Amino acid sequence: MLLPLLLAILARATAAADDTLFRRVAARDAQALRILYDRCAGLALGVALRILHNRSEAEDVVQETFLESWKRAETFDGQRGSATAFVLSIARSRALDRLRSRVTSDKALASLGREAEASVPLPIETAEHRQDRERIQAALLTLPPEQRQVLELAYFEGLTQREIADRLSDPLGTVKTRARLALEKLSALLGEAQ
Amino acid sequence: MTCAEFQESAGLMAVGALSTEEMSLAEAHLAEPRHSGCLAALRRAADGVEVLARSLSPARLDERVWRGIESQLAGPPPVKRARRAAPPWRERIAWSAAAAAVVLLLANLAARSHDNRRFAEQTATATQERATATGTLERERATATAVATRLEKERESCARDLLAVRDDADRQRFALELLQTPATLVVSLAPPKGGKPGARALLNLEQRKGVLLSVALAPQAGKDYELWIIRGDKKLSAGLLRAGPSGGVLASIDSGLFASGRPDAVAVTLEKTGGAPQPTGPILLVGALPKS
């Protein structure tokens, strides 16, 4: 009985802190942006790398992401999601834009091979964070494969719900339900991870 | 979109799998004032997406990435130039003089260019204004000419009317004077086959003056009434009788017509427009003078 209440209080407190942070960013406080960067840049790079498989491009995406966060700070709404989710949604969107515009030339393919080695993430996390990540990864593996697949197609490959339905030959409603169920399960892990 | 539909799509919205149109619909729903848990569903989905991202291994970022961001927050960084060794004083003076000359030359060129541009703009503006003014003047002159022409025509028409009125007045006065003279004969003109008199002639043979007065000669298209002085078998034209709209005619008779002696009769015929030297049409009215 007490745990959901504590989680709700924690979520509200986090949202309020994020709102304050973004208000400072919107007021052109570069120090606030640096705080946001320290909190999210590594995750943003991870998302961009996962989508692009190219470190140089992924770093460009991180730069673009924080510049866009700087410009769009006043649009942040803490009720819709955390500051981290806001930044990561921009990073994902920018990375997918690059992926779509990338020309599949021989040069690009060749560079992909070269960058693959360089894009191996460096360990920057504490032991505690690593434990959290491993726990999330384990939880992700407990999701039914079809739910996990829907999330990966949507989030990392940028497919729309209709494209996912076409690719998996599933009804649109099924795709929606799988995405909702999967995200609700993952959402429950966030409080524990924080 | 209902709240239930929105909440079913919230996961796909958070994960970015809605099309532009679907996203617009979802945003429109969120903008509505009343909801039953839509924002909370979206928040849960967003948290789930965050967890999905956290499942990835984070990567270390080089500090230059932040420096790149920071430099763009404050605008482009200043371009650094390598310092050169100071030249000897003569060279420095020469360079300074050359630089000053270049600056002066550029300033002069810029000023000339600016002046030329201003002159061209002023010329273009003046040309435009002159063309506009010329056009306006031409239009006003044409209007004034038209007005003057119309006024001139009206003046001429008015003068003709005044002359006609004055002629009528003169004839009326002349007729009145004749009527008041004891020697004046009043001859009634009636249709030859009998009937009501249609005109009267006032004749003063001593003074060789005469007028014809009628109120029954209505204008007829393509025809003119003509007055005749008849003496024996001679018929002398005494002129055309131009009737007014009401049929009134007051015509004076030329004194020369009385020079050859006393007329026997006076008649009116209807002739083609402009009259005829001798009567061709039917005699409409005729009146014989009393024997002296």
Q: Could you report the per-residue pLDDT of A78-110, keeping only the tens digit for each?
A: 888 888 899 999 999 999 999 888 755 445 555
Q: What percent of chain A has pLDDT over 70?
A: 76
Does A73 contact B at CB distance below 8 Å?
Answer: no
The predicted pLDDT at position B84 comes to 42
* pLDDT tier at B242, thresholds 50, 70, 90: confident
B256: domain CATH number is 2.60.40.200
Q: Average pLDDT of B20-30?
A: 87
Does a structural domain hold residue B64?
A: no
Residue-wise DSSP of A124-166: -S-HHHHHHHHHHHHHHHHS-HHHHHHHHHHHTT---HHHHHH
Note whether B175 and B109 are same-domain residues: yes
Instruction: Report chain B residues whose CB lies below 8 A from the CB of A172.
Output: none
**Between residues A75 and A190, which one has the greater pLDDT?**
A75
CB A10 within 8 A of CB A191: yes
Does A122 contact B at CB distance below 8 Å?
Answer: yes
Instruction: Determine, for residues B51 and A175 on separate chains, whether the beta-carbon distance falls below 8 Å.
Output: no
Does a structural domain hold residue B99?
A: yes
Q: Average pLDDT of A169-186?
A: 87
The answer to whether residue B282 scores a pLDDT higher than 60 is: yes
Token representation of residue B51? 């967890």
Note whether B175 and B196 are same-domain residues: no
Does A12 contact B at CB distance below 8 Å?
Answer: no
The answer to whether residue B82 scores a pLDDT higher than 50 is: no
* pLDDT tier at A10, thresholds 50, 70, 90: low
Residue A167: closest CA among A183, A148, A154: A154
Mutual angle of helices A2-26 and A30-52, in 10-degree steps: 110
Does a structural domain hold residue B87?
A: no
The predicted pLDDT at position B152 comes to 87
Chain position carrying tokens 């510049």: A67
Does a structural domain hold residue B67?
A: no
Q: Which of residues 17-46 of A touch B (CB under 8 A)?
A: 28, 30, 33-34, 37, 41-43, 45-46
The predicted pLDDT at position B267 comes to 94
Of A66, A85, A96, the CB nearest to B49: A85
Does a structural domain hold residue B45?
A: yes
At which of B180, B201, B229 does a domain end? Answer: B180
The predicted pLDDT at position A127 comes to 67
Note whether B163 and B190 are same-domain residues: no
Its ipTM equals 0.78
Instruction: Determine, for residues A186 and B53 on separate chains, whether the beta-carbon distance falls below 8 Å.
Output: no
Q: What percent of chain A has pLDDT over 90?
A: 21
The predicted pLDDT at position A6 comes to 54
Q: How far is CA B82 from CA A78, A190, B79, B93, in A?
A: 48, 52, 10, 21
Instruction: Determine, for residues B44 and A187 on separate chains, whether the beta-carbon distance falls below 8 Å.
Output: yes
Number of structural domains in chain B: 3
Nearest CA-CA distance, residue B36 and chain A, Å: 14
B145-197 per-position pLDDT tens digit: 888 888 888 888 888 878 877 777 887 888 888 889 888 999 999 999 988 88
Does a structural domain hold residue B230?
A: yes
The answer to whether residue B75 scores a pLDDT higher than 70 is: no
| Overall size of chain B counted in residues | 292
Domain range enclosing B9 = 3-55
Does a structural domain hold residue B74?
A: no
Topology annotation, domain A10-124: Rna Polymerase Sigma Factor; Chain: A (1.10.1740)
Q: Average pLDDT of B75-81?
A: 43
The answer to whether residue B123 scores a pLDDT higher than 60 is: yes
- How do strand B223-231 and strand B185-189 relate by DSSP bridges? unpaired
The answer to whether residue A111 scores a pLDDT higher than 60 is: no
Residue B16: closest CA among A40, A25, A163: A163
Nearest CA-CA distance, residue A164 and chain B, Å: 9
Does A123 contact B at CB distance below 8 Å?
Answer: yes
Instruction: Determine, for residues A63 and B45 on separate chains, whether the beta-carbon distance falls below 8 Å.
Output: no
> Mean pLDDT in chain B?
83
* pLDDT tier at B115, thresholds 50, 70, 90: confident
Q: Which residue of B has its CA nearest to A155?
A: B15
Q: Average pLDDT of A64-78?
A: 91
Domain coordinates of chain A in residue numbers? Answer: 10-124, 126-194
The answer to whether residue B77 scores a pLDDT higher than 50 is: no
Token representation of residue B20? 């532009």
DSSP secondary structure letter of residue B288: E
The answer to whether residue B59 scores a pLDDT higher than 80 is: no
Chain position carrying tokens 């083609």: B272
Instruction: Report chain B residues whose CB lies below 8 A from the CB of A93.
Output: 16
Does a structural domain hold residue B133?
A: yes
* pLDDT tier at B228, thresholds 50, 70, 90: very high
At which of B122, B145, B180 does a domain end? Answer: B180
Nearest CA-CA distance, residue B80 and chain A, Å: 23
Backbone torsions φ then ψ of A136, nearest 5 degrees: -65, -40
Put residue B39 in one of left, alpha, beta given phi > 0 → left and psi -120 to 50 → alpha: alpha
The answer to whether residue A67 scores a pLDDT higher than 90 is: yes
CB A164 within 8 A of CB B17: yes
The predicted pLDDT at position B287 comes to 94
- Residue range A126-194 forms a domain whose CATH class is mainly alpha
The answer to whether residue B244 scores a pLDDT higher than 80 is: no
Residue-wise DSSP of B163-199: HHHHHHHHHHHHHHHHHHSTT-EEEEEB-TT--S--E
